[in-house]
Structure 1
Amino acid sequence: MTARYDTVAAAGESRYDTVAAAGESRSDLLDLPALWAAIKARKLWIIGPTLAALGLSFVAVNMVTPRYTGEARLLLENRDSFYTRPGQAVSETSGQQFDAEGVQSQVQVIMSRDLAREAIKRIGLVGNSEFDSGAGALGALKKVGVLLGIGAHPADRSPEERVLEKYYDRLLVYPVGRSRIVSIEFTSQDPALAAKAANEIAAVYLEMQEAAKQDTARSASSWLSTTIEPLRKKLAESEARVEEFRSRHGLLVGTNNTTITAQQLADLSTQLSNARSQQAEAQAKASIIRDAIKAGRTFEIPDVANNDLVRRLIEQRVNLRAQLALESRNLLSEHPRIKELNAQLADLESQIRAAAERAVRTLENEAKIAGQRVESVTAALDGQKKTASGANDDEVQLRALEREARTQREQLEQYMLRYREALARDAQNAAPADARIISRAIEPTTPSFPKKLPTILVATLATFLVALATVVSRELLNGGSPAPADDRPQRKARGRVEPAVGQPESEEDDAEAAAPPPRRRERIAGLLTHGGRIGQLHIDLSDAEAGLSDLTACVNKASEGHAPLVLVLDGAEPDDASPRALAQLLSERSRCILIDLASESRDRPGFSELLAGEAMFSDIITREEDSRLHEIAPGRAGREAVLAAPDIVDVALDALCETYDWVLVATASTDEAQVLSPLLARAQGALVMAGHAGNGHAVEAAYRLTDLTGAPIALVMLDAPETIDLVSQDKDPVPA
């Protein structure tokens, strides 16, 4: 319910049905036993369509005309070699590779219309009733369509055009993954025709490749033949202009492929260098001889010492010095003989000096001659430079003419080479196709369509799964197997919360009260008097689904995505029903967790450790064997530590409400208001376990709760077969 639970009686029977239905659909757990029972109950809805699909698929695959597929495979590679491409290396022609785009391009070539028309002629598809729509007489239905203008008459199109549509439907060309292999598949009802068509298509493709290469070579040779002759004439004219310009401007070529002007300039440069060298050498020798004469070392000069006259004079001087030394031992210096020898020796010295001076003058004369020669050669060189500088412009023009002629000569040689290659490739079998057949199609023995066994299995299995999914979906959408029609009034009566005494009942309630069943009169005890806010609820432990619906009607509706939080108080009597029994009942049809704050056990970690940060939810949530109920204990610190931190408790409860369908907080009915108030502030309802016969402590606890919360409050009695007279209607409320 969306409003507060002010009075259960005002809601009436229709309001209960709405809340009960919402409670029944609250659980999203998958009940496998109930689902399996529903599948078994509706097994005919699954087996029937499955058997029908099996039979129909078996008949269909045996009635369909089988088709056979022939497959041929091509390897795309460059088949040119040194012999088919003369003048080129083998590695340049055989190492080329087809990339992915090249392979796809060849696939499109195989599927081209020109190739298709040629293949149709060779295979003989024209006139074949399987492919040619114009073969044979027109059917009645087709004639009517032609008359009405819906379809065209087959005779209006050419035979190849009529066959092309079916041809492309039966043709499949695709590249084999990560390779340069192209597969050609052709499908036909005739296995021999399927194999023949695949082979013929591959053969036509190879022939078209060879023809394309030959056409390219033929067109190239034709173009080159018309280009070479004019180019040859241009070359002859260019060479004639070069020779004419050379002779007219005197740019004749001598040795070493240089012009005469350049050679003369080089010769004059050489002569000038030689003359300067001779002049410098003569001047140096003359200077050295003069220095030697001054130092009295004339005979040490090579040019003077090598002179015959000087050599004889030196020999005579040596002899005179020997005589002078011999005579000096016996004669004094004033002796005539000594004087004569000294005079002869002085004469020889003067003659030697005169010979050296003549050598100096000779060298100086040679230096003067060399200097004059240098001047004359320099003048000639300057004149030749002027001549050479004037010929530079002519040589520039000559080089331009030679360069043009050389370019035309190279172009003519290349064209001649290409022309000879094109003529060679134009010959038969000189241009192989860039592909070869690596696998020819053979006549298939097994039909490619239909695949009988896989088709039957797939159709049968698909029908079985669809039927099963339909049954399961219907069961899940309906929230489980519906109860029998005669049982639903008993379920409503068993969990219904009766209106308060003193409030008007609806007409439907009056009609039902007129003749209530005996068991229903025994189970319904009515409401207590405290403003009609305390209800009485009987739950049968043997019917978990009805108990879930009944309990849903006694609490306010929680916000979307959150489970209702319900506070459950024990009866404070030894024979009272335990909140655990109610939680066990809810866990059978929904996800339920019980937070036990009434227990004094401190032997295991629980809520206190979670609040202290010492444990996580996965550490404190426990579940007993053979039970779906989850439970959280107070913890080793006790319930006092839990109730001392209400803010943190609210955060933990919010997390649990987002995870479970029901969150039950069990406390003691003797707890004070300050303990129960924080929990009741966010609870959607409160339950007091009244046991099998009810007791005063439970009623007193229920009265105390009315002053603490505005949420619905109900006394819960489990398996109560008789009416329970709780208190007198005029009893005053018990204070909190």
Structure 2
Amino acid sequence: MSGNLSSRGDVDIDLAGLAAALWARKFAIAASVLIVGALTYFTTSSMAPLYRSEARILIEERGSALSRTGEGGQTRDLVLDEQAIASQVEVIRSSDLLREVITELDLGSRAEFDPAGQPSMIGDLLVLLGIGSDPIDASAQQRVLEAVRENLQVYQVQNSRVIAIEFSSQDPELAAAVANGLAGAYLQVQSGAKLDSNADAAAWLEPEIAELRGRVRDAEAKVAAFRADNGLLLVTENNTLVTRQLSDLTTELSQVRAQRADAEARAANVRSALESGQSADAVSSVVDSPQLQRLRERQSEIEGQISDLSITLLDNHPRIRSLRSQLSGIGTQLNEEVRKALANLEANAAVARLREAELAEQLDVLKQSSAQAGTDEVELRALEREARAERDLLETYLARFRETVSRGDANALPADARIISRAGVASEPYFPKVIPAVIVAMLATALIHMIIILLIELFSGRALRERVVVDEMREETTPLEPSRIATTGTATASLAHQPLTASTQAVPVAAPAHPAEPLTQPAPTIAKAGALPVAEDEEDFSVDGVAAALISKRVQVVAGISPEGDAATLGAVLLARAVSDRGHRVLTIDMTGAGLPGATMAGAGLPGITDLLCGSVSIAESIHADYASSADIIPLGTADPETAMRGASRIAMIIEALSDAYDTIIVECGSTEITAVQKMLADRPITVVMSVVDPDAPIIAEEFEALVEAGYDDALIMLVDEDGPQSTRSNAA
């Protein structure tokens, strides 16, 4: 909204006038409230009271462990999700279940549930207009069913497996009976459904088992016949006769080959010993012979006798000669016995070779038979697999059939639900609530009556009053002669500077709306030849004068610079409050180094522009209200300024976004060069306001010359009181 208000003015709502209008009609409001309250009381009192009862059902898997065991003896839990519970709710609301309860409790004989027996004027009028349906057109059973369904509420209790059944009736005992009847009928339906399913399963399994028994018998007969026809008789559980013979023959052939090799090795050893002239004692095969062991013992005995007799007898003694002769005979017997042992070993080796050849021939024959048996066993295993599959299926069906038969009783298959709360007889009606209804009706009547009065007052214009506004001010600028001194209503000063060129324009300002009283202090002298151009009206340099100039020019973005530092930055606070007091929405953005404007308007330590540029807060979180006016402030903030200035390019976008919400945006930049301000605001059209505390300061003239060189020769000069802003609102506020 623009801050420009023409002489035709704007209007405000007269709240006092509205309150007076309401007070003037207080008796009419009271009368309407009492009338509506009385009508509501008599109407609700004449209504038939309704009582509500509630029963609750818990959906869960029920039954003994034996009746719920599945494969491997594991218990199969019932899977219940939101859709399953919702399905059970619809089952309870089903027409079949309701008809069963209606028949059991004889609800059709009660006038409460027969709309045709209770005609109403409103219902008849709707039928005549063609909007409603005539209850007479429907059957009596359908009318009772619809009436019961209207008084019934079935819903799932949130975050649970509990279903609540609520029923309303004029008879409290009937309300409880219907709710409990529905719960009991639902359990019977669930249990009956299980029994029917169990009976259907048993009826299907019985013929299937009979057929499977025949198929198993035929498959096993095929296996036995195939074994007999192909000689695949089983010796053990997994070995046939051919396989067992082949295994035994292979084992025997290995043993014969070992015996033959042993005999040949022993014979070769003995033969080698005899050929080399070795003693028979060195041959292990000979030493093992019992005969040779006896001859060796006899030889040792004779040698011992010869040794004993040699002590007393000479070598030619007949006794010694006899013993020597016996010893020589024993040696001959030993050699003959060795030769016999060699012949025996060679004979054993020959027998072993013959047995080996015979066994090898038999093994070749069995291998051929085994190859043929392997081909037959492939087909045999196929027949056995088929027979085994039929047998397993038969055993499974038999187990299921026995389980199904054992659960044929109703007690073995309870419903997967149980009643956890039966409906009780209500002692008080839930409808109508006379007192609450009367109170609500009276309050609503009072509110509607007051709204009607307010609308009448507003549309008639009696509640509107004209707002006093300031006419647009005309810009007036005039150069200040070198010897002239400007005196404002809030301070006196003179601006010294080197002579400007002829093309230099005057500082545009506007006359204030309310001239201030002049100060009595003397004006300072000009430091240098030549002076800055000023307005002929010396009070245009005041805060009020600059505020009026901004409003008259409809300036939206103001760039404030304060060459003298923090003390001058408080001029942005005074300017914002002055513009705000004139009914404009003002936002000040504190871009100073010390953050003094933000601390003055809203306090220190608040999130502001640096936090917004760093992305830690939103635009709304960075805006704070001025405690002394209706202006808003975005303070400096608490984030690192160096980090924040990396996103300085976003300042122009932020100002663009805020320009729709505020009439004037003041960006106080402190003692910053105008080139930096242009770069920060992305060359956006702005009006520069330079806050001045001491007009004689050399930096003021230098800064103004820089503004002129940068093209801001229409910059506004605003003199700031050294005492700064006060802590209270101005009189205009």
TM-score for both structures, normalised by structure 2: 0.63
Q: 2:23 aligns with which of 25, 40, 44?
A: 44
- Determine the structure 2 residue equivalent to 1:393: 375
- Determine the structure 1 residue equivalent to 2:148: 167
Paired AA for residue 341 in structure 2: A
Answer yes or no: is 1:449 the counterpart of 2:431.
yes
Q: 1:56 aligns with which of 36, 44, 47?
A: 36
Paired AA for residue 178 in structure 2: A
Name the CA distance, whole Å, in 2 between partners of 1:675 and 1:307: 139
Answer yes or no: is 1:187 the counterpart of 2:178.
no
Paired AA for residue 17 in structure 1: S
Name the CA distance, whole Å, in 1 between partners of 2:582 and 2:551: 19
CA contact (8 A) 2:40 2:441 kept: no
Name the CA distance, whole Å, in 2 between partners of 1:257 and 1:670: 122
- Determine the structure 2 residue equivalent to 1:619: 599
Alpha carbons of 1:272 and 1:45: their partners in 2 closer, same or farther (altered >3 Å)?
farther
Name the CA distance, whole Å, in 1 between partners of 2:670 and 2:308: 154
Further displaced range: 69-78 or 335-344:
335-344
Match of 2:153, SS state, is strand
- Determine the structure 1 residue equivalent to 2:197: 216
Q: 1:380 aligns with which of 351, 356, 362?
A: 362
Match of 1:433, SS state, is coil
Answer yes or no: is 1:358 the counterpart of 2:340.
yes
Q: 1:82 aligns with which of 65, 77, 81?
A: 65
Answer yes or no: is 1:17 the counterpart of 2:7.
yes
Match of 2:411, SS state, is coil
Alpha carbons of 1:204 and 1:370: their partners in 2 closer, same or farther (altered >3 Å)?
same
In the TM superposition, what whole-angstrom CA distance separates every residue of 1:435-457 from its partner, at most 9, and x where no partner exists? Answer: 00010111212322344455455
In the TM superposition, what whole-angstrom CA distance separates every residue of 1:494-553 from its partner, at most 9, and x where no partner exists? Answer: x88999xxxxxxxxxxxxxxxxxxxxxxxxxxxxxxxxx998977999xxxxxxxx9999
- Determine the structure 1 residue equivalent to 2:247: 266
CA contact (8 A) 1:70 1:444 kept: yes
Name the CA distance, whole Å, in 2 between partners of 1:404 and 1:540: 117
CA contact (8 A) 1:324 1:338 kept: yes
CA contact (8 A) 1:3 1:556 kept: yes
Name the CA distance, whole Å, in 1 between partners of 2:558 and 2:715: 10
Match of 2:177, SS state, is helix
Displacement of 1:352: 0.5
Alpha carbons of 1:468 and 1:594: their partners in 2 closer, same or farther (altered >3 Å)?
same
Q: 1:72 aligns with which of 18, 33, 55?
A: 55
Displacement of 1:196: 1.7
- Determine the structure 2 residue equivalent to 1:571: none
Match of 2:115, SS state, is coil
CA contact (8 A) 1:242 1:398 kept: yes
- Determine the structure 2 residue equivalent to 1:411: 393
Name the CA distance, whole Å, in 1 between partners of 2:227 and 2:400: 33
CA contact (8 A) 2:257 2:356 kept: yes
Q: Identity of paired residues, percent?
A: 33
Alpha carbons of 1:390 and 1:619: their partners in 2 closer, same or farther (altered >3 Å)?
same
Alpha carbons of 1:314 and 1:422: their partners in 2 closer, same or farther (altered >3 Å)?
closer
CA contact (8 A) 2:177 2:423 kept: yes
Further displaced range: 670-679 or 102-111:
670-679
Displacement of 1:215: 0.9
Alpha carbons of 1:668 and 1:496: their partners in 2 closer, same or farther (altered >3 Å)?
farther
Alpha carbons of 1:253 and 1:593: their partners in 2 closer, same or farther (altered >3 Å)?
closer
Name the CA distance, whole Å, in 2 between partners of 1:210 and 1:622: 74
CA contact (8 A) 1:127 1:134 kept: no
Q: 2:233 aligns with which of 238, 252, 260?
A: 252
Alpha-carbon RMSD: 5.7
Name the CA distance, whole Å, in 2 between partners of 1:363 and 1:347: 25
Match of 1:130, SS state, is helix
Q: 1:112 aligns with which of 94, 101, 106?
A: 94
In the TM superposition, what whole-angstrom CA distance separates every residue of 1:643-663 from its partner, at most 9, and x where no partner exists? Answer: 996678999999xx99xxxx9
Q: 1:440 aligns with which of 422, 429, 436?
A: 422
Displacement of 1:422: 1.8
Alpha carbons of 1:98 and 1:246: their partners in 2 closer, same or farther (altered >3 Å)?
same
Name the CA distance, whole Å, in 1 between partners of 2:365 and 2:471: 141
Structure 1 residue runs of 5 or longer lacking an equivalent are 5-14, 26-33, 500-532, 542-549, 566-579, 596-606, 633-640, 688-717, 719-736
Match of 1:165, SS state, is helix
Name the CA distance, whole Å, in 2 between partners of 1:68 and 1:612: 73
Paired AA for residue 393 in structure 1: T
Give the count of matched residue pairs.
583
CA contact (8 A) 1:50 1:463 kept: no
- Determine the structure 2 residue equivalent to 1:243: 224
TM-score for both structures, normalised by structure 1: 0.63
In the TM superposition, what whole-angstrom CA distance separates every residue of 1:170-206 from its partner, at most 9, and x where no partner exists? Answer: 2222222222111111223332222222111111111
Name the CA distance, whole Å, in 1 between partners of 2:631 and 2:148: 69
Alpha carbons of 1:97 and 1:460: their partners in 2 closer, same or farther (altered >3 Å)?
farther
In the TM superposition, what whole-angstrom CA distance separates every residue of 1:119-163 from its partner, at most 9, and x where no partner exists? Answer: 333343335443333336x66776687678665543443333323
Alpha carbons of 1:363 and 1:37: their partners in 2 closer, same or farther (altered >3 Å)?
same
CA contact (8 A) 1:70 1:194 kept: yes
In the TM superposition, what whole-angstrom CA distance separates every residue of 1:665-685 from its partner, at most 9, and x where no partner exists? Answer: 899999999999979966899
Alpha carbons of 1:332 and 1:223: their partners in 2 closer, same or farther (altered >3 Å)?
same
CA contact (8 A) 2:577 2:631 kept: no
- Determine the structure 1 residue equivalent to 2:257: 276
Displacement of 1:113: 2.9
Displacement of 1:306: 5.5
Name the CA distance, whole Å, in 2 between partners of 1:594 and 1:262: 106
Alpha carbons of 1:142 and 1:422: their partners in 2 closer, same or farther (altered >3 Å)?
same
Name the CA distance, whole Å, in 2 between partners of 1:631 and 1:258: 102
Name the CA distance, whole Å, in 1 between partners of 2:328 and 2:130: 153
CA contact (8 A) 2:64 2:412 kept: no
Displacement of 1:557: 4.4
Match of 2:56, SS state, is strand
Paired AA for residue 215 in structure 2: K
Further displaced range: 163-172 or 184-193:
163-172
CA contact (8 A) 1:82 1:89 kept: no
Match of 1:448, SS state, is coil
CA contact (8 A) 2:227 2:233 kept: yes
Further displaced range: 234-243 or 163-172:
163-172
Alpha carbons of 1:594 and 1:666: their partners in 2 closer, same or farther (altered >3 Å)?
farther
CA contact (8 A) 1:558 1:564 kept: no
Paired AA for residue 208 in structure 1: V
Displacement of 1:292: 5.4
- Determine the structure 1 residue equivalent to 2:499: none
In the TM superposition, what whole-angstrom CA distance separates every residue of 1:189-236 from its partner, at most 9, and x where no partner exists? Answer: 332222222111111111110111011011111111221111112222
Name the CA distance, whole Å, in 2 between partners of 1:498 and 1:371: 143
CA contact (8 A) 1:194 1:443 kept: yes
Name the CA distance, whole Å, in 2 between partners of 1:152 and 1:419: 55
Alpha carbons of 1:667 and 1:339: their partners in 2 closer, same or farther (altered >3 Å)?
closer
Match of 2:233, SS state, is coil
In the TM superposition, what whole-angstrom CA distance separates every residue of 1:23-57 from its partner, at most 9, and x where no partner exists? Answer: x77xxxxxxxx976456424438966587457635
Structure 2 residue runs of 5 or longer lacking an equivalent are 475-508, 518-544, 561-572, 604-625, 634-668, 720-730
- Determine the structure 1 residue equivalent to 2:621: none
Match of 1:437, SS state, is strand
